[in-house]
Structure 1
Amino acid sequence: MKLTVYNEIIALMHKYKSRDSLCKVQERYPNVSLSALGSIFAQDYQKKMRKTHHLHYNPEKIEQYYQIYCKGVQEKKKKKNVLYKLANEVDLSPALLARIILERSLSCEGTVPSKSVVTRMMKDTSLIEDPVLAFEIHTCFVCDDHYGPLVDNIKHSIGHEYEFKLNKILDDLGLAYIGEDQMRDRGYDKTPDIKLEIPISVDGYVVNWIESKASFGDEHSHKGYLKDQFWSYWNRFGPGMVIYWFGFIDELDVNKEKGIILRDSFPDNIVKMNPLMK
């Protein structure tokens, strides 16, 4: 996907503002899958939350939101899903608002809760003694498409699904490889999803390892992956390939000569190296 097309899609998403409108976006860009659009939308939303989180996470706002919540639950017969509706009103992720309110509620007991305690309660709302608060927070998780334990589990599951898909392709092609667990057993601290036992060639570029990303490759995420993962793999194993299964911005594929190529599927035009060649 060209950067200009990506920017047009982002602008259209900002106009509609809702994940429910992705079908309308696809009408304008029929060659872009809903999975790709969903990934683009989620990434853009998360960037927005990172930029605006500080506006909500300050003492005055926290107290304001907490008082609105308290008033809302007192009128529960008239109002339901108070936190979720408030999150939409203030344009904040429901899961993030739920965490803010939980931290504020626990601090009422006289001590500031640790992050680990809050995280455990967020993952398991049965640990929250107040049943109303537990229900409100659970509702935020279930209804939040972008944050929270439920979303993390979904992303983890999709990631495994595409890793399994990659493994099956390699098996069908008869390529010998090892996975992350085997690499860790051999003492490697930085491990791609796949290390090929015998390299392959893709469009003239040697590939020793493959990383599977069940997401769209935008500039922000790709830059982070390069720094935290890809260059580390390159240092340990040499040149490799990253598969962004939901597509990527074409202009990001600039490190081919340095040893990292990008693809949106497993290439058909691979060349196998003859292990008997010297």
Structure 2
Amino acid sequence: MKLSKAQYDEVAHFITTLKPTRQCMKTLKERFPNQSQSTLLSIFSQEYQKFTKKTHARHHVPETIKMYYSKYLQEVAMDPTAPVLLNLANEVDFSPALIARIILERFLQDLNGVAPTKPVLNTMLRDSSQIPDPILANQVNQCVVNDCCNGPLVDCIKHSIGYEHEVLLREKLLEKNMAFLDEDQLRLKGYDKTPDFILEVPVAVEGHVIHWIESKASFGDELSHRAYLQDQFWSYWNRFGPGLVIYWYGFIEELDCHRERGIILKDEFPSDIVTLHGCMSLGEEQGKQVGERKPEKSQEAQ
């Protein structure tokens, strides 16, 4: 689903009034009933990620961490069953999964005398049963499960959705009998940075020739698209020629401004692909029609 810049800005502004809970999606859908649920969810996730990056530093000041940890210890001592970390995350307006990470890291540091490594932290966040304190394990699990934008559960879901859309794109290419190489095949050939699919025989989409297709299971906003252009798309263009990017959850339509330079944006698999085989078949058919008309013209001339 394509949105104008004005439509996107309206959605993004409304998102700033919402808390990052699963219930907020109902409010968002009620406010924008004409937009798809998946598009709204993708925009919400991206906007909250931006907010998290902006505020991340202030939550990691040593004095702030000390305050959060003291508050956690005090409140969990009064009622171990209360959602202390979830409440803390809502109170300070920060991601529940990231609050859980801060508290877990401080707990392990106090327990072992040294700061835990990232692999240890990530393992415990993915599997809270590895946390030696069962109360904290339950608190961390509550945060991970209830965070709709950050954390190992969200990362797993995003990875699965991305893979699902790559499989969908592969099926579409096979349906069209288009010859292609995927990322794994290209890496075996020595390429280090590749799009999802390279077309062995170029095709035309809306009058533009394309040599590769990239699948993005997200909404294409200005920030993410600019980053993709710099880090991926222009590199693909330099190496493989013009290509197509599919933002399955839509994009800001004004961003589709590089067609003449060789990068086309779509929000679905194109229905009007013209293949070399199709062009040859059309040419043969036209040739037959011309050949069939020639005798008639000759008789008229006689």
User: Into which bin does the TM-score normalised by the smaller protein fall?
Assistant: over 0.9
Q: May I ask how many residue pairs the two structures share in their alignment?
A: 276
1:125 matched to which residue of 2? 128
Note the residue ranges of structure 2 that are not aligned, 5 or more in a row. 281-302
CA distance in 2, matches of 1:90, 1:129: 26
- Aligned counterparts of 2:267 and 2:279: Cα–Cα separation in 1: 31
Offset of residue 112 of structure 1:
2.0
1:262 matched to 2:265: yes
Specify whether residues 275 and 190 from structure 1 end up closer, same or farther in structure 2 by C-alpha distance, changes over 3 A only.
Answer: farther
CA contact (8 A) 2:84 2:139 kept: yes
Q: Which has the larger radius of gyration?
A: 2
- Aligned position for 1:244: 247
- Cα separation, 2, equivalents of 1:15 and 1:69: 27
CA RMSD of aligned residues (A): 1.8
Residue equivalent to 1:66? 69
**Contact 1:213-1:244 at 8 Å conserved across structures:** yes
TM-score by length of 1: 0.94
Note the alpha carbon deviations across 1:122-176, whole angstroms, 9 max, x for none. 2222222111111111111111101111000100111111111111111111111
Equivalent residue in structure 2 for 1:2, among 1, 4, 14: 4
Q: What is the CA-CA distance between 1:69 and the residue it aligns to?
A: 0.7
Match of 2:43 in 1: 40
Please report the TM-score for the alignment, with normalisation by the length of structure 2.
0.87
C-alpha spacing 1:23/1:110, structure 2 compared with 1 (3 Å)? closer
Tell me, yes or no, if the aligned pair for 1:241 and 1:260 is still in contact at 8 Å.
yes
- CA displacement at 1:264 relative to structure 2: 0.3
Counterpart selection for 1:206 from 205, 209, 214:
209
Matches of 1:64 and 1:121, distance apart in 2:
23
More displaced, 58-67 or 116-125? 116-125
Number of the residue aligned with 1:92: 94
Equivalent-residue separation in structure 2 for 1:205 and 1:263 (angstroms) = 13
Matched, 1:151 2:159: no
Match of 2:190 in 1: 187
Task: For residues 61-90 of structure 1, give each alpha carbon's deviation from its aligned partner in whole angstroms, at most 9, with x where no partner exists.
Answer: 10111011111221125x512111110111
Contact (CA 8 Å) 2:15, 2:47: kept in 1 or not? no
Return the letter of the residue paired with 1:114.
T
